[in-house]
């Protein structure tokens, strides 16, 4: 008998597939390995159910993916919540910007979550918001300590497959513990192991929080992969440039040194100088690598 389900866990060649009725532990057909197509957590799969309940099921087919995140390896996600703090550790703006680029690159919605909001003032919040002017990135402030902003964040999870990502020390695990109704212990365990670095195989697990809502904890994934793109493509990942690019004098303007550049013209007004500065530095960095 066959059915479909979502892979919520994959460890050592065994995949837990959540079907309508229950989770079924499955193996994957050898053909996937042969074709170099490894099942990912988050994959929708068709499986054959074992007749003997003590045996494993078999993943027969991986249904087409909407997207694939490589670090952590998760498929079919609908949004990434980037958890950062402003103090302790202090906000790494470049890392946040790079993570946003990564989300843009795979066309996944991103949410900026500034945790430990009890430590920051309204002026500092304003400073954060100013940096992202002209973008649609939702910004949420949360404090586990003061239980502030948690319901607001929870609302964003409904009906979505959400990955929480961010550098260590920003309180991601305690935040997850607070907002997830169940499985909190496992998440704590997972993250502690991840932080200690004893886990060589970092595994990701999806937790179902409602019928159609899943959350992935991603222990140890604070960093990002290289974007692996040409410098000319970078400008397209800055949504605040969109409105102005058609007013640049040159087609395909990179908004660096070209005369008559409307994007540059807007820096300081509609576009944040800090974001533009990041763009320029990152552009040069990619450009340098291209020369090698
Ligand atoms: Zn331009």
Q: pLDDT, tens digit, for every residue of 137-169?
A: 999 999 999 999 999 999 999 999 999 988 889
Between CA 160 and CA 214 the distance in angstroms is 6
Between CA 162 and CA 80 the distance in angstroms is 6
pLDDT of 200: 40
Regarding the domain with residue range 2-67, which homologous superfamily does it belong to in the CATH classification? Nucleic acid-binding proteins (2.40.50.140)
Q: In the chain, where are the structural domains located?
A: 2-67, 69-217, 231-291
Q: How far is the CA of 255 from the centre of ligand 1 (A)?
A: 4
Residue 291's φ and ψ, nearest 5 degrees, are: -70, -20
Between CA 8 and CA 23 the distance in angstroms is 9
The answer to whether the bond into 114 is cis (omega within 30° of 0) is no
Between CA 228 and CA 210 the distance in angstroms is 36
pLDDT of 222: 54
Q: How far is the CA of 253 from the centre of ligand 1 (A)?
A: 5
Contact 193, 219 (CB under 8 A): yes
pLDDT of 235: 97
Instruction: Count CB-CB contacts under 10 A for residue 162.
Output: 24
CB atoms within 5 A of ion ligand 1 belong to: 248, 253, 255, 261, 263
The highest-level CATH class for domain 231-291 is mainly alpha
Low-confidence stretches of the chain (pLDDT beneath 70): 181-202, 218-226
**pLDDT digit string (tens) for 195-239?**
444 444 467 889 888 888 999 876 555 556 667 789 999 999 999
- 69-217 is a CATH 3.40.50.180 domain: no
Q: Long-range pairs for 90-98 at CB < 8 Å and ≥24 separation?
A: 91/128, 92/167, 93/131, 93/274, 93/278, 94/278, 95/167, 95/223, 95/224, 97/275, 97/278, 97/282, 98/224, 98/227, 98/282
Q: How far is the CA of 247 from the centre of ligand 1 (A)?
A: 8
- Considering the entire predicted model, what is its pTM? 0.86
pLDDT of 69: 84
């Amino acid at each position: 008998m066959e059915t479909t389900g979502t892979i919520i866990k994959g460890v050592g060649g065994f995949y837990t597939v959540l079907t309508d009725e229950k989770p079924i532990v499955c193996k994957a057909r050898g053909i996937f390995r042969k074709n170099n197509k490894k099942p990912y957590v988050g994959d929708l799969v068709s499986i054959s159910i074992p007749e003997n309940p003590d045996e494993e099921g078999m993943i027969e087919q991986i249904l087409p993916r909407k997207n694939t995140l490589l670090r952590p390896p998760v498929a079919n996600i609908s949004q990434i919540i980037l958890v950062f703090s402003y103090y302790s550790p202090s906000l790494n703006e470049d890392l946040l910007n790079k993570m946003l680029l990564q989300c843009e690159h795979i066309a996944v919605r991103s949410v900026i979550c500034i945790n430990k909001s009890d430590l920051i003032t309204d002026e500092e919040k304003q400073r954060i918001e100013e940096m992202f002017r002209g973008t649609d990135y939702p910004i949420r402030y949360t404090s586990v300590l003061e239980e502030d902003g948690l319901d607001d964040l929870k609302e964003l999870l409904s009906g979505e497959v959400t990955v929480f990502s961010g550098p260590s020390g920003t309180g991601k695990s305690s935040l997850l513990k607070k907002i997830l109704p169940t499985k909190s212990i496992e998440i704590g365990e997972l993250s502690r192991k991840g932080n200690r670095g004893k886990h060589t195989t970092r595994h990701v697990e999806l937790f179902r929080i409602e019928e159609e809502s899943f959350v992935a904890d991603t222990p140890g994934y604070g960093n990002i992969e290289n974007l692996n793109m040409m410098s000319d493509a970078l400008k397209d990942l800055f949504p605040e440039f969109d409105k102005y690019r058609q007013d640049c004098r040159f087609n395909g303007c990179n908004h660096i040194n070209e005369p008559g550049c409307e994007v540059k013209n807007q820096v300081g007004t509609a576009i944040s100088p800090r974001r533009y500065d990041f763009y320029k530095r990152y552009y040069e960095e990619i450009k340098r690598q291209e020369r090698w």
